[in-house]
Amino acid sequence: MDSLKDELNEDSYYIDLITRLRKERNAVILAHNYQRGEVQDIADYVGDSLGLSQQAAKTDADIIVFCGVFFMAETAAILSPQKTVIIPDPRAGCPMADMITAEDLRQKKQEHPEATVVCYVNSSADVKAESDICCTSTNAIQVVESLKDAKEILFVPDEHLGRFVASRTKADILFWPGFCPTHLRVTPEDIIKAREEHPNAKCIVHPECSIEVIMLADEALSTGGIIKYVGKSDAGEIIIGTELGLAYRLQKDHPHKRFYLATQKLVCPNMKLTTLEKVAAALENIQHVVKVPENIRVRAKLALDRMMEI
């Protein structure tokens, strides 16, 4: 097997293996927009957190290979309990999701018994189970606006997405001090410099960036929102304030447009852990199955279902 691998270009060896195994196993490969280019290229669906959850909920494949970070695969396991969900590298976590535990949230709820808990999907199943409703960066504003009767809202774990939502709604929001280390690497100075270097470019950032960065951009959108924006916009040059993997997708879809990363530091190391070799190994051995205990899954699914209804 190794000699064949050596003879062929390594990527094509794994692509052939994945193509064969996905058919044999009746598997679907879902990939987030931040995945490596070669992983995006072999996926059946590439999208943002909301799109991936929707795909996971409706697929009729037996196996979901989730190329993303752990909370995303866990969300697929919550929504599709009858499927086998596998993650090619189980070390691919999201530091933001680890910034709050279910116990932390229970304590905070005791301090604010009247608060409605809105939980960003970048969180563990345990935390979702303690929450009233989930949101993604695509629908966070609509989710908060839907809670017309809420006296106050406790938004966890991303303080920055929470502040962005607060700036666009009239809701009274309490924040949790969580953050994305990758998106906080973009500074206001980076945006000012990029705009000086590319004066004709539009600038679109992710709402996990700081509010100071968002205020200097033309818009803050989820990765799926950025893809739609670029598809509709006449702009030929766009400064991107989100993870590098999205620029791969945008450049592939729009070869005549120019994309500039706001800073070269926009790399999520966890998203880059997934490789073609690990996807092939996960499929071959059906390894790294993601499971959620049923009592947690049922409660977490309620919070996700409320979001999906919006």
SS3 113: coil
In the complex with ligand 13P, which residue's Cβ is closer, 51 or 166? 51
Does 48 bind ligand 13P (CB under 6 A)? Our answer is yes
CA distance 87 to 136: 20
Q: Which does 95 bind (CB under 5 to 8 A by kind): ligand SF4, ligand 13P, none?
A: ligand SF4
Does 55 bind ligand 13P (CB under 6 A)? Our answer is no
Does 182 bind ligand SF4 (CB under 6 A)? Our answer is yes
Does 122 bind ligand 13P (CB under 6 A)? Our answer is yes
Q: What is the dihedral of CA 30, 34, 36, 41, to 10 degrees?
A: 40
Radius of gyration, alpha carbons of the chain: 20
Total residues found in the chain within this entry: 310
Find the binder of ligand 13P among 180, 201, 213, 216 (CB under 6 A).
180
Least distance between ligand SF4 and beta carbon 214 (Å): 15
In the complex with ligand 13P, which residue's Cβ is closer, 13 or 66? 66
Least distance between ligand 13P and beta carbon 121 (Å): 7
Does 268 bind ligand SF4 (CB under 6 A)? Our answer is yes
197-236 residues in contact with ligand 13P (CB under 6 A) are 206, 208, 222-223
CA distance 84 to 107: 34
Find the binder of ligand SF4 among 56, 73, 94, 303 (CB under 6 A).
94
In the complex with ligand 13P, which residue's Cβ is closer, 33 or 275? 33
Half-sphere exposure of 125 (CA within 13 A, CB side): 20
CA distance 82 to 307: 21
DSSP H stretches of helix in 80-222: 102-111, 125-129, 140-146, 159-168, 188-197, 211-216
